[in-house]
Structure 1
């Protein structure tokens, strides 16, 4: 309830402190001042904290101040003498400094003052300060998942769909209307394909997540990948001494059931910090797809209308074990082993009708397809941190090894019927076996040195190497029940990539200006080997990625910001595999080994009002933008999905964030984003493409405190019609509701939530019109779910779930797209 506390006391403090300041003005010296910054013990800024300056001789109040949005404060025009300072904010213990002396014309810097969380016992009711659901900061938007009711029983994928500015369509994540988003977990990249990233995000339960950070223009310290920006998922951490455990179980019911459960155990002492968690989920889902397509060839049109219903079942085991050892007061050695075991099954029934015009059927294909896609992922990380002095100079080293496998097996059974529903040719049955093996090695070193309280240098190196071995076996079912391999449609593709990077990032403050300038250099070498065809494509290139951030403080409550950054989007690994993957007689997919990386230059200017409201205007231009396209063959009537470099993608956006406190029991966070995307290309079927549209999306999240044990949440989101690549996407909206009640002295929590109350989020429609071809996709999935979750804490319940470490691997895992 931090923001609620800030809002209630800030007006009172302002009037009182202003009076005290005027009263003390007569004894001021123009050139003296006292400054510092107030944060939590985890170095999170505390805005609207109150500062009181007392005379050490008689303990009389001399002056006061309130911290700004970054937690900083300045008390100016103070006479020389002996003083002490007191700092406080609702929900935290009051801080009182030692007595210090202020000399004539001295600008005394008190540094960082850390406040500890305070639990106050009021008639057996524990009141604890909580963060708002969504916070807007200078360089990012933070969604605090830890205490969210609507996150109950959900996965990371479910929660991301509720985040402001984020949309997800069939696993493709967009941020402020742009795709190619880099996903991190605890500042470390996931290095997984689209399918594997979906597996991971669907296996990551909400009870393990602390917050989600949305960054549209990251600094040079982060990998340069991700043209649209970065989504960083932070796992819960343990900050206190002792031992605790948290057990949770949940049940959800949509059209099909969804169950989950898990346990987290933490132990922290002065020397050793160990943690472990295990989560299990078993859920069922469905996807219905209707596709209408027309093909014009030699003046004759052919119409395809297909309808399919696919049912899925996913079982997932995920775990994490790790620890930190305090080798000395200045050095910490840590390790983490984490992973997941995933098993999915699917069963699809579908019919494709073919005819010269809609409603007239010449023939049909009836499909009954089954599949399984087991996968596993393991990551091993060792890290070491060394503090070199007492002012904050430190070195951090980390090494990672990640390995994952996925063994897809899909069986396609096709029956061919004429207009009278009689078989006119034998059934055609085949299977695709697609085992995959990925190995990733990452080494990283980072250095941080503060030159003063207002300036700091960060620098580092990183090296990553990845090997991906993909095998596709296309087998045809024989009359005797055995399968015969079709070598023409089978292949093996091995991809190797190495990236070396170095960066430097400098932060400083000059008067009312804050400046951050950075430069990152990356050297990429890749080799794609189509073993079956004996074709090899090798590439090497070096790029520079500068970043610049400026902030001008108008006063303690208002500021102007500006930023620039250059980023890269390397082709997804599977998009480089040129071999054809057959889905059915008329649908296939293949990659493009000659894809070039896409480069984006992004510019943003913003205004922060009263340390709460923000308005940002952004522009980005992407050269050789990569987009999914469909390539039809008018002779065979097939349609193929592949990737291509467009000429350019221009994106304009206006983003407004407005937190509002209506009463002391009702507060909200509201976001509106307008974006205008232009896709320009002349490679789509040899015809020029210019698809552009002004679109917008809005979200509003509300939290209600009913009493000291009961709270509720309401969340709404709307996405207008928009465009992506060659697709037009229709609008959708969704409403979520949640209720929470605490029992047994807050040790037990019961949460009830309804996701997508009106069953509107799961219905998505997109369409495209190209020369000689047009098609429309209507997709629906199980989005309206009622969830009940119960959690119980044992031991020291002041502890948070622990997870201080993660993989140092970053950019590569997210690019294993569609493998």
Structure 2
């Protein structure tokens, strides 16, 4: 791995030194010194034989940076909304030039910097040195979509059955305004569906996060950024989604948000409610002890209800100083009355067994988070110090009942069991962070920070056996207490050297873990470890316009076990299958390296290699002479993944645009119990068609011939989704009808490998859904600049 990094760096730097360029760093402002954001800056050589203009767009502070390949005299122009505002001659004589372009106030009087105007100045897809940004607020076609819809069309992101990956690497963390959310699987899917595009400003996709972010998350980070309260007065929206899956079960999702701003104080409140009912069918077949063949079918009708409340208040003491207070809560209620039927067939039919069981389960969670934020700019270059703190309290209650009966071929009862498990859990997490981003002259900046985290969790497991009435069974009860302390520091430096944009980071994290298990099971867990997490990002422009460039990145990441997975509970899925936690899980570590390139600002390709040690994965564990099958998270060994990505956007006509991505993968998962190597590919396409008169159509599709997840290999999975929408009342009212998984192919069959045993699995769920949504947006007021709130508990909430 180290040799590969060294060789790649040598090639990258050798290529960069073949070019001689000059760097121009500047700022566009008005006569009073106020920055002019998102203006188009054009440098045209005066003595060129043809038009070779170099064009850049200023950031929100009016700053810009570009490369000049030939020194000489240039005509610098500043345009806003394609209207020329000012011009001046510039002499480029040095390798590094710093300049200021001033726009007279008289030229700005006709400029209205409202939301739509600002958004239209930036591309929808923007690639930075360490992330890809999809500006949701840029395009009217995003109206009516959920966050899940937007992730499904994001380049390099794959979403299937609640699992999210970037460039084929699983373990992706989802942040909302820099904060992790404590949801996974169907809960995460429902949450993302409750977030509307009306709430979202942009989505940041970081396959290789920098040292500024927590090292947690081997599969990268997706950060969903909410729109800020950017209007004086009142604005907001109200809407509802209604869906019917396969004509069976309905789901509805009403939601609303209200923003109010007056002077220096801003208030934000949003509420969303989701009620969804769906079904899941799971079939499995495997060998049974004494040459038996086990066949089982489980039917589970699931009902999920959750309420999400988000409120925030901000106070801008001045243009440079702000305070913020945010509160988030989520209440969830899940029920799943699972029913299983199984048969065990032997060569001698007289030994056959028929088994039936009922396994109803219910869980409720109450999540509360309170966050404080203080930010102050320290100089005219917008250097900033930030202090943030968060307190999270999450209380979960859960119970399950296992009722099983086995009969022989004569109909006589062989066994009859009925017991109940209660497993409440309480988590308390406090995080505090201080960081400073110092912007140095000539485009260089240094970020440093400190963070401390304290986590305390109590998991209780109480068993009761039914014998005429429910009777406690203390011999089976146990309690698991978990304490974790993490202390982190980081430094991140970005700048330019030898015509290369670079960003170097180093993060150190000290982890102290203590766990105690007492009761029917007894054990003590103690882990103390310190780790460094370096990150490197390089970017080399290949032409003057900056539309063609090469990139290189490397980083090291950690994935700690989720708090829930460490709890050694036992939950029976069916008569002979149990799901359990694992208090002996240890962290996994991932090293990743990537080389990429962008051509003509739209065609992207990349080659990535990652290696994970002590990989954490959910596996199906069974032995040839064991009747019970166990589903468990475990450290399965080493995982190596090669990926090659090609992304090609196409505009067929003025009304028809398309984004297409092909991802080739080669994955190897090796452990003492299995060694699997599979090559595959993933094709994603998204079509946007504007039909006129307010109508538009959207088609999304994907296909993969197989996937390797832990010790499970799936067969082909694919899906085609179709959506049609109509806009009314100047695009404020949007109605949408859609059908997901039209051909009902987003289900899978798979094979699990463990030692010399195999399990054949078939899974179906309510993936074909017809939905109707209606949303109305309202706003009134004038534009102004709002502050961004951050959160310190990005990593910890995602592990609940």
Q: Same fold (TM over 0.5)?
A: yes
Match of 1:515 in 2: 502
**In 1, Cα distance between equivalents of 2:91 and 2:303:** 69
**In 2, Cα distance between equivalents of 1:767 and 1:141:** 35
Pairing 1:140–2:125 present: no
Residues 504-583 of structure 1: pairs in structure 2 closer than 5 A: 504-532=491-519, 533-555=521-543, 556=545, 557-578=547-568, 580-583=570-573
> What displacement does 1:603 show?
0.8
Residues 165-180 of structure 1: pairs in structure 2 closer than 5 A: 165-168=156-159, 171-180=162-171
Q: Specify whether residues 798 and 693 from structure 1 end up closer, same or farther in structure 2 by C-alpha distance, changes over 3 A only.
A: farther
- Of 446, 449, 458, 2:447 maps to 458
Residues 155-554 of structure 1: pairs in structure 2 closer than 5 A: 156-157=147-148, 160-161=151-152, 163-168=154-159, 171-191=162-182, 197=188, 200-201=191-192, 203-205=194-196, 207-255=198-246, 256-295=249-288, 297=289, 300-356=290-346, 362-420=352-410, 422-425=411-414, 427-479=416-468, 482-532=469-519, 533-554=521-542
Q: Which deviations, in whole Å up to 9, do the C-alpha atoms of 1:293-322 show, x marking residues without a partner?
A: 113x4xx32211111211112222111110
Match of 2:16 in 1: none
Contact 2:136–2:202, Cα closer than 8 Å, also in 1: yes
- Of 674, 677, 702, 2:667 maps to 677
> What displacement does 1:535 show?
2.0
> What displacement does 1:379 show?
0.8
Q: Specify whether residues 44 and 496 from structure 1 end up closer, same or farther in structure 2 by C-alpha distance, changes over 3 A only.
A: farther
**In 2, Cα distance between equivalents of 1:109 and 1:130:** 22
> What displacement does 1:288 show?
0.8
Match of 1:784 in 2: 768
Contact 2:166–2:220, Cα closer than 8 Å, also in 1: yes
Which segment is superposed worse, 126-135 or 779-788?
A: 126-135
Pairing 1:725–2:716 present: no
**In 1, Cα distance between equivalents of 2:727 and 2:114:** 16
> What displacement does 1:233 show?
2.0
Tell me the secondary structure at the aligned position of residue 447 of structure 2: strand
Contact 2:455–2:483, Cα closer than 8 Å, also in 1: yes
Contact 1:152–1:753, Cα closer than 8 Å, also in 2: no
**In 1, Cα distance between equivalents of 2:121 and 2:748:** 36
**In 2, Cα distance between equivalents of 1:524 and 1:671:** 39
Q: Specify whether residues 752 and 584 from structure 1 end up closer, same or farther in structure 2 by C-alpha distance, changes over 3 A only.
A: closer
Q: TM-score, normalised by structure 1?
A: 0.84
Q: Which deviations, in whole Å up to 9, do the C-alpha atoms of 1:734-769 show, x marking residues without a partner?
A: 1112222221222212122222222211x1222123
Match of 1:4 in 2: none
Contact 1:51–1:86, Cα closer than 8 Å, also in 2: yes
> What displacement does 1:204 show?
4.0
> What displacement does 1:772 show?
4.2
Contact 2:581–2:633, Cα closer than 8 Å, also in 1: yes
Contact 2:285–2:761, Cα closer than 8 Å, also in 1: yes
> What displacement does 1:538 show?
0.8
Q: Specify whether residues 522 and 128 from structure 1 end up closer, same or farther in structure 2 by C-alpha distance, changes over 3 A only.
A: closer
**In 1, Cα distance between equivalents of 2:51 and 2:184:** 60
Contact 1:379–1:807, Cα closer than 8 Å, also in 2: no
Q: Specify whether residues 429 and 134 from structure 1 end up closer, same or farther in structure 2 by C-alpha distance, changes over 3 A only.
A: farther
Contact 2:21–2:499, Cα closer than 8 Å, also in 1: no
> What displacement does 1:549 show?
0.9
Contact 2:279–2:300, Cα closer than 8 Å, also in 1: yes
Residues 52-201 of structure 1: pairs in structure 2 closer than 5 A: 64-67=53-56, 72-73=65-66, 77=71, 79=73, 85-89=77-81, 94=83, 96-97=85-86, 107-110=97-100, 129=120, 137-145=128-136, 156-157=147-148, 160-161=151-152, 163-168=154-159, 171-191=162-182, 197=188, 200-201=191-192
Match of 1:618 in 2: 608
Q: Which deviations, in whole Å up to 9, do the C-alpha atoms of 1:20-46 show, x marking residues without a partner?
A: xxxxxxxxxx9999654799xxx9997
**In 2, Cα distance between equivalents of 1:112 and 1:185:** 37
Q: Which deviations, in whole Å up to 9, do the C-alpha atoms of 1:573-620 show, x marking residues without a partner?
A: 233334544444422233333332211111111122112111111111
Q: Which deviations, in whole Å up to 9, do the C-alpha atoms of 1:352-374 show, x marking residues without a partner?
A: 11122699981122123322212
Q: Specify whether residues 369 and 512 from structure 1 end up closer, same or farther in structure 2 by C-alpha distance, changes over 3 A only.
A: same
Contact 1:411–1:430, Cα closer than 8 Å, also in 2: yes
Q: Specify whether residues 104 and 477 from structure 1 end up closer, same or farther in structure 2 by C-alpha distance, changes over 3 A only.
A: closer
Q: Which deviations, in whole Å up to 9, do the C-alpha atoms of 1:529-566 show, x marking residues without a partner?
A: 11324421111100001111111111122111111111
**In 2, Cα distance between equivalents of 1:455 and 1:552:** 16
Q: TM-score, normalised by structure 2?
A: 0.86
Contact 2:300–2:339, Cα closer than 8 Å, also in 1: yes
Q: Specify whether residues 360 and 79 from structure 1 end up closer, same or farther in structure 2 by C-alpha distance, changes over 3 A only.
A: farther
Q: How many residues get paired? A: 757
Which segment is superposed worse, 97-106 or 237-246?
A: 97-106
Pairing 1:692–2:677 present: yes
**In 2, Cα distance between equivalents of 1:642 and 1:174:** 21
Q: Which deviations, in whole Å up to 9, do the C-alpha atoms of 1:691-720 show, x marking residues without a partner?
A: 011111111112122226332221111122
Tell me the secondary structure at the aligned position of residue 811 of structure 1: helix
Contact 2:365–2:396, Cα closer than 8 Å, also in 1: yes
> What displacement does 1:802 show?
9.4
**In 2, Cα distance between equivalents of 1:232 and 1:31:** 35
**In 2, Cα distance between equivalents of 1:130 and 1:600:** 38
**In 1, Cα distance between equivalents of 2:23 and 2:148:** 49
Q: Specify whether residues 338 and 331 from structure 1 end up closer, same or farther in structure 2 by C-alpha distance, changes over 3 A only.
A: same
Contact 1:275–1:803, Cα closer than 8 Å, also in 2: no
Tell me the secondary structure at the aligned position of residue 440 of structure 2: strand
**In 1, Cα distance between equivalents of 2:463 and 2:670:** 36
Q: Which runs of 5+ in 1 are unaligned?
A: 1-29, 56-60
Contact 1:102–1:108, Cα closer than 8 Å, also in 2: no
Q: Specify whether residues 198 and 540 from structure 1 end up closer, same or farther in structure 2 by C-alpha distance, changes over 3 A only.
A: farther
Contact 1:308–1:348, Cα closer than 8 Å, also in 2: yes
Contact 2:144–2:734, Cα closer than 8 Å, also in 1: no
Q: Specify whether residues 413 and 148 from structure 1 end up closer, same or farther in structure 2 by C-alpha distance, changes over 3 A only.
A: farther
Tell me the secondary structure at the aligned position of residue 565 of structure 2: helix
Tell me the secondary structure at the aligned position of residue 374 of structure 1: strand
Contact 2:606–2:644, Cα closer than 8 Å, also in 1: yes
**In 2, Cα distance between equivalents of 1:743 and 1:98:** 41
Q: Specify whether residues 474 and 292 from structure 1 end up closer, same or farther in structure 2 by C-alpha distance, changes over 3 A only.
A: same
Contact 1:186–1:232, Cα closer than 8 Å, also in 2: yes
Contact 2:24–2:65, Cα closer than 8 Å, also in 1: no
Q: Which deviations, in whole Å up to 9, do the C-alpha atoms of 1:36-92 show, x marking residues without a partner?
A: 4799xxx99979x5627799xxxxx99953238997445765549xx87322456xx
Contact 1:52–1:64, Cα closer than 8 Å, also in 2: yes
Q: Specify whether residues 633 and 38 from structure 1 end up closer, same or farther in structure 2 by C-alpha distance, changes over 3 A only.
A: farther
Tell me the secondary structure at the aligned position of residue 812 of structure 1: helix
Contact 2:238–2:776, Cα closer than 8 Å, also in 1: yes
> What displacement does 1:658 show?
1.5
Match of 1:754 in 2: 739
